[in-house]
A and B are shown apart, each in its own frame.
Chain A
Amino acid sequence: MYAQMVETGVRRVKDAAEMTPEERAFQARIDADVKVEPKDWMPDAYRRTLVRQIQQHAHSEIVGMLPEGNWVTRAPSLKRKAILMAKIQDEGGHGLYLYSAAETLGVSRDDLIADLHAGKVKYSSIFNYPTLNWADIGAIGWLVDGAAIMNQIPLCRCSYGPYSRAMIRICKEESFHQRQGYDIMLAMCRGTPEQKAMAQDALNRWWWPSLMMFGPPDADSVHSAQSMQWKIKLLSNDELRQRFVDQTVPQAEYLGITMPDPDLKWNAERGHYEFGAIPWEEFYEVLKGNGPCNRDRMKTRVKAWEDGAWVRDAAVAHAGKRAARAAKAA
């Protein structure tokens, strides 16, 4: 999802007999739903996996600001512009909560950002797609933030205290994002036929990438078992994806637009929607860096970081000068 295919560094999950006494005690606390806090002992693989997962999540938040930033100057009204800016500011805030959570594990934020810019760490595949028109902003809020909420609500109960607390803050704010998106879709679907066609076109383009956000099918997801035992992943990719489809299809019906999936149908026996094959080859291409916007997103990120360097340096120099002056006066 926002963190996809997080590498755990383990080939298979150890059973209790193979664990060291420390690892057994650690797993027992997790099984008893006791939160792990920064200064507690934890296995190295748990720490490394969490750093990877939280930083992927944080990077997704700040890269996610870019496709939306594209539309701030072209929002159709002052009200929509103000709302969009508030949402983008939230995404920046969510990134900051998550970077702080990662820093409690002994890494520095600047190093994490350097890893992102060097292409060593991924962000969610979804942000490598372009926002071509205003309806895309509606579709992102409705579908992308909807998928994010689906994934993040269970993470509020994850085993690592600072991550869980960050997720709680984020979930409180995320619901606004989804509703503002649906509100845009509603306005367009109730508008002219051309506007409704734009909403349908945005849904056509964002539907499959949104389903890919949950990551590969469980059968191909090698690291899930370990992450689930550590309770840093609470529900499987396929389970979350199914829930998302089930809740979203009726919302599209209300809008009067349809998912671009001829195989989509309700299965009364299972009580779930069945859906067609997800184009996974596209997902893996995007992860490899060959999505429509990968290079552009990174270029924008790196430029923002480099163009801001003098401001960060000046602020440090100014703080140093004032501290020196205060020390002299004392």
Chain B
Amino acid sequence: MSKEWPLWEVFVRSQHGLAHKHVGSLHAPDAGMAVKNARDVYTRRNEGVSIWVVRSADIAASSPSERDALFDPASSKVYRHPTFFPMPDEVKNI
């Protein structure tokens, strides 16, 4: 059986000024074909102005088991949010 085309993750910028957003994945033999295929698979209705593709195998990701260790420390630091500091009603523009 022939070799399967590698998997690519596709990111599309929907409008100028916005960040690229992950939209899905597809198979393609190389980066050039991945962009062309992404055009056909993910932007048939003017969904984008720019496409990024990256080999799925090249993405490093955090694992669900690390969730607590990675994200819990932030939950006790509520002072990082502006709403932590009550402001007197008389004080304006702050």
Contacts and interface: CB of A to CB of B under 8 A. Distances in A.
A is bound by B: yes
Interface of A: 37, 39-41, 86, 89-90, 93, 96-97, 100, 103, 108-110, 114, 165-166, 169, 173, 309, 312-313, 315-316, 318-319, 322-323
A90 B63 contact: no
Contacts of A108: 4
A97 B24 contact: yes
A165 B23 CA distance: 9
Contact of A312 (B2, B44, B64): B2
Contact of B24 (A114, A166, A316, A322): A166
16 contacts: A37-B64, A41-B64, A86-B44, A89-B44, A109-B4, A109-B27, A165-B24, A166-B24, A315-B5, A315-B30, A315-B33, A318-B29, A318-B30, A319-B29, A319-B33, A322-B30
A93 B41 contact: yes
Given A100-B26, A169-B24, 19 more contacts: A39-B64, A86-B44, A89-B40, A93-B44, A96-B26, A97-B24, A100-B25, A103-B7, A103-B25, A108-B4, A109-B27, A166-B24, A173-B45, A313-B3, A315-B29, A315-B30, A315-B33, A316-B5, A322-B30
Interface of B: 1-5, 7, 24-27, 29-30, 33, 40-41, 44-45, 61, 63-64
B4 A39 contact: no
Contact of A110 (B1, B41, B44, B64): B1
Contacts, number: 55
Nearest to A317: B29
A39 B24 contact: no
B66 to A, nearest CB: 10
B30 A319 contact: yes
B64 A40 contact: yes
Q: Is the interface of A mostly helix, strand, loop or mixed?
A: helix
A110 B7 contact: no
B29 to A, nearest CB: 4
Contacts of A323: 30
Q: Which of B7, B27, B61 has the most CB of A within 10 A?
A: B27
B24 A100 contact: yes
Nearest to A313: B2
A237 to B, nearest CB: 29
A78 to B, nearest CB: 19
Contacts of B30: 315, 318-319, 322-323
A285 B45 CA distance: 39
Contacts of A165: 24
Contacts of B45: 173
A316 B3 contact: yes
A283 to B, nearest CB: 33
B22 to A, nearest CB: 10
Contact of B2 (A37, A93, A309): A309
Contacts of B44: 86, 89-90, 93, 173
A96 B41 contact: yes
B39 to A, nearest CB: 11
Contact of B63 (A39, A100, A109, A316): A39
Contacts of A316: 2-3, 5, 29
**What are the 6 closest A-B residue pairs judged by CB atoms, nearest first?**
A319-B30, A315-B29, A319-B29, A100-B25, A110-B4, A313-B2
Nearest to A323: B30
Contacts of B40: 89, 93
